[in-house]
Structure 1
Amino acid sequence: MIPHIHRRTFGTGSRPVLAIHCSLAHSGAWRGVGAALSDIATLHAYDLPNHGKSGDWDGQGVMHDTATDMALAVLDEIGPVDVIGHSFGATVALRLAIEHPMRICSTILFEPVYFAPLMADDPGFAGGYRHDTAAYDQALEAGDTAAAAKAFNSTWGDTAAWDTLPEASRTYMAERIHFVRDSAPFLMNDSADLLAPGRFAQATGPVLLMRGETSPWAEDLNGAIARRLPNVQEVSLPDLGHMAPITHPDRVATHVRSFWAAQGQGLRSARL
């Protein structure tokens, strides 16, 4: 059973968009992108399980399945949409594009942290990743959620230093840091079996795959995903990092706007 879903909308444009935020954030992370696209799109953003005002994952099954089922429940209400996702949220968006292609008009992914394709292509990557994230793992094993959140933020945050963040923000992230480990069955081990032959080929709709040039692992991660998608356009944003949808929403929105313009209205009409 899926938990309660809290959602909000940004923008008033005619194009419905499902927006899925990153780990340790909430649906409000899409406020900037929503404002930048407000004339052409309405973003329907929901809080992931254990985030914002949505209910918690009950610990049964695979957490990524619950996050995806929540997205599908929102889709049941708003119909075929474009979908945009950031980081963990982008992995849900990618899964929707593969598993439910007729419900998705186009897909915009900003640095999906779906490591399984890269690990399949480069078996040595896993050891390097464990080395680079050892501080996070050690803190979580010790039960020090604040230290684990600080280590996680130092890798992915690319914004203010941990000690300069508001106390409420640090507490929010520390309270939810186990969500990152709960994501591993899908992100690392491909629990949904998307790497099985023919699965990625099901994502026939257009995909915009974006990254910041300063992000850790992003070039290799996006490359491993792009190699498998049949209809993908890649974009790299100079001088930006993993949190660009929040820190530089206008620059992200500019590429989204151009991507949609290039697709025209034919795809949307065909899917409705």
Structure 2
Amino acid sequence: MTLPSIFVRSLGQGARQVLALHCTIAHSGAWAGLAASLGAQATLVAPDMLSHGKSPDWDGQSDFFDLTTTLSAAQLTQPMDVIGHSFGAMIALRLAVNHPKLIRSVVLIEPVFFAVAKLDAPDLLAQHDAAAQPYVEALETGDMPLAARLFNRMWSTEESPRWPDMPEKTRAAMIRGIRVVPDVEQALFQDTKGLLTPGVLNEVKRPTLLMTGGHSHPVMPAISHGLQKRLPNASIITIEDAGHMLPISHPKETAAQITNFWHRLPPSSV
């Protein structure tokens, strides 16, 4: 299989090489605020997922999770720190499992691993599923503009821009990206990739920081705490006044926590 070429953005000029993986219906430019807040300490290598940003469209046939993981792994040209947000955090977690020698540390921001909540907090997962039902139904009926609008609203806060107030280009990009969501559902909700198979996450020895927003859906901290229990070298931090989009809405606070995490790493991870 010939891999498609994707767009990769470089942000910052610091010595620390960081692979930054964005969330669904966003793009690599979403890391600009965090990169600026990290200042001169890091360079972010930020790819656009297929059907996002400046990358080409996903073919609709390949396994999107597998293909995105492979394309992201291709950016690991040396041992790097990895930061992932939402679905990007799921990619980061798979990279930590599959490529431990190329990962120095891992930051998982609001990972959407709903299979963890299915085991640990099924009541909270049921609340999430009820809240998600409107956009799920829109996807099932093929109404992509409505699905993108509802999906965006679910993961936003009251302070986030409303759909009618967004530029047309931004709305079109979200509509384009929402098409990938159904293809990753089984992996996120049913763990079809086997990440929760006994012993798999226990092998992720690299230092891991889990980050969650205090105003995010209640299922999200449950997922992060569940992953903390399963990862042998993980810590967790909450940015209390942030929601799911915390690396975009609160880049300074996010950068401060990541910087503190990096400063605590053992010399072999720096």
Which interval holds the TM-score relative to the shorter structure? over 0.9
Correspondence for 1:169 = 170
Give the TM-score of the pair, scaled to structure 2. Answer: 0.94
Q: Cα distance, 1:49 vs. partner?
A: 1.4
Q: Return the alpha-carbon distance in structure 1 between the equivalents of residues 131 and 162 of structure 2.
A: 18
Q: Return the alpha-carbon distance in structure 1 between the equivalents of residues 198 and 147 of structure 2.
A: 36
Match of 1:219 among 203, 218, 221: 221
Report the residue type matching 1:45 in the other structure.
A
**Any conservation in 1 of the 2:10–2:45 contact (CA below 8 Å)?**
yes
| Alignment coverage as a number of residue pairs | 266
Residues 264, 127 of structure 1: CA spacing in aligned structure 2 closer, same or farther, 3 A cutoff?
closer
- The 5 Å alignment of 1:69-88 reads 69-75=70-76, 78-88=77-87
Over 6 Å off, 4+ runs: none
Deviates more, 1:9-18 or 1:185-194: 185-194
Counterpart secondary structure, 1:188: helix
Q: Return the alpha-carbon distance in structure 2 between the equivalents of residues 37 and 182 of structure 1.
A: 34
Correspondence for 1:17 = 18
Q: Return the alpha-carbon distance in structure 2 between the equivalents of residues 60 and 179 of structure 1.
A: 11
Is 1:142 the counterpart of 2:144? The answer is no
Q: Cα distance, 1:123 vs. partner?
A: 4.3
1:215-239, CA deviations, whole angstroms, 9 ceiling, x for partnerless residues? 0121111112111110011000011
Deviates more, 1:51-60 or 1:258-267: 51-60
Q: Return the alpha-carbon distance in structure 2 between the equivalents of residues 185 and 212 of structure 1.
A: 25
1:222-258, CA deviations, whole angstroms, 9 ceiling, x for partnerless residues? 1121111100110000111111111111110000101
Correspondence for 1:106 = 105
Counterpart secondary structure, 2:196: coil
**Any conservation in 1 of the 2:120–2:222 contact (CA below 8 Å)?**
no
Q: Cα distance, 1:264 vs. partner?
A: 4.4
Q: Cα distance, 1:134 vs. partner?
A: 1.2
Deviates more, 1:97-106 or 1:127-136: 127-136
Report the residue type matching 1:218 in the other structure.
M
Report the residue type matching 1:188 in the other structure.
F
Deviates more, 1:11-20 or 1:113-122: 113-122
Deviates more, 1:209-218 or 1:180-189: 180-189
Is 1:200 the counterpart of 2:170? The answer is no
Correspondence for 2:63 = 62
Q: Cα distance, 1:142 vs. partner?
A: 2.2
Correspondence for 2:235 = 233
Report the residue type matching 2:133 in the other structure.
A
Q: Cα distance, 1:35 vs. partner?
A: 1.2
**Any conservation in 2 of the 1:210–1:235 contact (CA below 8 Å)?**
yes
Gaps in structure 1 of 5+ consecutive residues: none
**Any conservation in 1 of the 2:52–2:176 contact (CA below 8 Å)?**
no
1:180-202, CA deviations, whole angstroms, 9 ceiling, x for partnerless residues? 22221221121211111100011
- The 5 Å alignment of 1:116-135 reads 116-135=115-134
Report the residue type matching 1:5 in the other structure.
I
**Any conservation in 2 of the 1:99–1:202 contact (CA below 8 Å)?**
no
Q: Cα distance, 1:32 vs. partner?
A: 0.9
**Any conservation in 1 of the 2:51–2:176 contact (CA below 8 Å)?**
no
**Any conservation in 2 of the 1:206–1:232 contact (CA below 8 Å)?**
yes
Report the residue type matching 1:230 in the other structure.
P
Q: CA RMSD in A?
A: 1.5
Q: Return the alpha-carbon distance in structure 1 between the equivalents of residues 127 and 244 of structure 2.
A: 19
Q: Cα distance, 1:126 vs. partner?
A: 4.7
Q: Cα distance, 1:127 vs. partner?
A: 3.7
Q: Return the alpha-carbon distance in structure 2 between the equivalents of residues 250 and 239 of structure 1.
A: 13
Residues 37, 264 of structure 1: CA spacing in aligned structure 2 closer, same or farther, 3 A cutoff?
farther
